[in-house]
A and B are shown apart, each in its own frame.
Chain A
Amino acid sequence: MKIAVCVKQVPDTWAEKKLRSDDSTLDREAADGVMNELDEYAVEEALKLQEAHGGEITIITMGPERAGETVRKALSMGADAAVHLVDDSLHGSDALATSYALATILTGRDFDLVFFGSESTDARMSVVPAMVAERLGVAQLTFAQKVDVDGTSVTIQRVTDYGFETVVANMPAVVSVVEKINEPRYPSFKGIMAAKKKPVETLSTVDAGLEGSQLGLAAAWTVVEDFAARPPKAAGTIVTDEGDGGVKLAEFLATQKFI
Chain B
Amino acid sequence: MPSAPQRPLDLFAIDHLLSEEERAMRDVVRAYVDAQIKPRVAGWFESGEIPARELALELGELGVLGMHLEGYDCAGTSAVAYGLACMELEAGDSGIRSLVSVQGSLAMYAIHAFGSDEQKATWLPRMAAGSAIGCFGLTEADFGSNPSGMRTNAKRDGDDWILNGSKMWITNGNIADVAVVWAQTDDGIRGFVVPTDSPGFTANAIHMKMSLRASVTSELVFTDIRLPGSAMLPGVKGLKGPLSCLNEARFGILFGTMGAARDCLETAISYSIDREQFDKPIASYQLTQKKLADMALELGKGTLLALHLGRLKDEHLIRPEQISVGKLNNAREALNIARECRGILGGNGITLEYPIIRHMNNLESVYTYEGTNEMHTLVVGEALTGIAAYR
> Which one, B24, B31, B32, B75, contacts A190 given CB within 8 A?
B75
**How far in angstroms is the closest Cβ of chain B from A167?**
32
Contacts of A187 in B (CB 8 A): 24, 28
Contacts of A188 in B (CB 8 A): 28, 61-63, 75
Contacts of B62 in A (CB 8 A): 186, 188-189
Contacts of A189 in B (CB 8 A): 25, 28, 62-64, 67, 75, 77, 81
Contacts of B75 in A (CB 8 A): 188-190, 193
Q: Is B186 an interface residue (CB 8 A)?
A: no
Contacts of A16 in B (CB 8 A): 4
**How far in angstroms is the closest Cβ of chain B from A27?**
15
Q: Is A76 an interface residue (CB 8 A)?
A: yes
Contact B21 A192 (CB under 8 A): yes
Determine the distance from Cα of A192 to Cα of B64 in the docked complex, in whole angstroms.
12
Determine the distance from Cα of A189 to Cα of B59 in the docked complex, in whole angstroms.
11
Contacts of B61 in A (CB 8 A): 186, 188
Contact B21 A186 (CB under 8 A): no
Determine the distance from Cα of A189 to Cα of B60 in the docked complex, in whole angstroms.
10
Determine the distance from Cα of A188 to Cα of B25 in the docked complex, in whole angstroms.
8
Q: Is A73 an interface residue (CB 8 A)?
A: yes
User: Which A187-202 residues have C-beta < 8 A from chain B?
Assistant: 187-193, 196
Contact B81 A72 (CB under 8 A): no
Q: Is A165 an interface residue (CB 8 A)?
A: no
User: Which B190-231 residues have C-beta < 8 A from chain A?
Assistant: none
**How far in angstroms is the closest Cβ of chain A from B389?**
41
Majority DSSP secondary structure for residues of A touching B: helix
Determine the distance from Cα of A72 to Cα of B24 in the docked complex, in whole angstroms.
9
**How far in angstroms is the closest Cβ of chain B from A64?**
15
User: Which B334-367 residues have C-beta < 8 A from chain A?
Assistant: none
Among the interface residues B32, B64, B75, B76, which one has the most CB atoms of the partner chain A within 10 A? B75
Contact A192 B32 (CB under 8 A): no
Determine the distance from Cα of A257 to Cα of B63 in the docked complex, in whole angstroms.
52
User: Which B213-264 residues have C-beta < 8 A from chain A?
Assistant: none
Q: Is A251 an interface residue (CB 8 A)?
A: no
Q: Is A122 an interface residue (CB 8 A)?
A: no
Contacts of B67 in A (CB 8 A): 189
> Which one, A69, A72, A192, A196, contacts B28 given CB within 8 A?
A192
How large, as a class, is the contact surface on chain A?
10 to 19
With A186-B32, A189-B81 known as contacts, the answer to whether A76 contacts B63 (CB < 8 A) is no
**How far in angstroms is the closest Cβ of chain A from B136?**
22
Q: Is B20 an interface residue (CB 8 A)?
A: yes
A-B contact count (CB 8 A): 40
**How far in angstroms is the closest Cβ of chain A from B49?**
25
Contact A69 B20 (CB under 8 A): yes
Which B residue sits closest to A73, measured CB to CB?
B24
Contacts of B63 in A (CB 8 A): 188-191
Determine the distance from Cα of A73 to Cα of B28 in the docked complex, in whole angstroms.
10
Determine the distance from Cα of A189 to Cα of B32 in the docked complex, in whole angstroms.
13
Contacts of B76 in A (CB 8 A): 193
With A69-B20, A188-B62 known as contacts, the answer to whether A193 contacts B77 (CB < 8 A) is yes
Which B residue sits closest to A192, measured CB to CB?
B24
Determine the distance from Cα of A56 to Cα of B75 in the docked complex, in whole angstroms.
23
Contact A72 B32 (CB under 8 A): no
User: Which B1-32 residues have C-beta < 8 A from chain A?
Assistant: 4, 20-21, 24-25, 28, 31-32
Determine the distance from Cα of A76 to Cα of B26 in the docked complex, in whole angstroms.
13
Determine the distance from Cα of A143 to Cα of B67 in the docked complex, in whole angstroms.
38
User: Which B48-76 residues have C-beta < 8 A from chain A?
Assistant: 61-64, 67, 75-76
Which A residue sits closest to B68, measured CB to CB?
A189
User: Which A1-27 residues have C-beta < 8 A from chain B?
Assistant: 16
Which A residue sits closest to B85, measured CB to CB?
A189
**How far in angstroms is the closest Cβ of chain A from B72?**
12
Which A residue sits closest to B63, measured CB to CB?
A189
Which B residue sits closest to A187, measured CB to CB?
B28
Which B residue sits closest to A68, measured CB to CB?
B20
Which A residue sits closest to B76, measured CB to CB?
A193
Which A residue sits closest to B31, measured CB to CB?
A186
Which B residue sits closest to A16, measured CB to CB?
B4
> Which one, B4, B25, B31, contacts A192 given CB within 8 A?
B25
User: Which A167-183 residues have C-beta < 8 A from chain B?
Assistant: none
Which A residue sits closest to B20, measured CB to CB?
A69
Contacts of A73 in B (CB 8 A): 24
Write 19 A-B pairs (CB below 8 A) sorted by A numbering: A72-B20, A186-B31, A187-B24, A188-B61, A188-B75, A189-B25, A189-B62, A189-B63, A189-B64, A189-B67, A189-B77, A190-B63, A190-B75, A192-B21, A192-B25, A192-B28, A193-B75, A193-B76, A196-B21
Q: Which chain B residues have a beta carbon within 8 Å of chain A's beta carbons? A: 4, 20-21, 24-25, 28, 31-32, 61-64, 67, 75-77, 81
Across the A-B interface, the 5 shortest Cβ-Cβ residue pairs: A189-B63, A189-B75, A188-B63, A186-B28, A190-B75
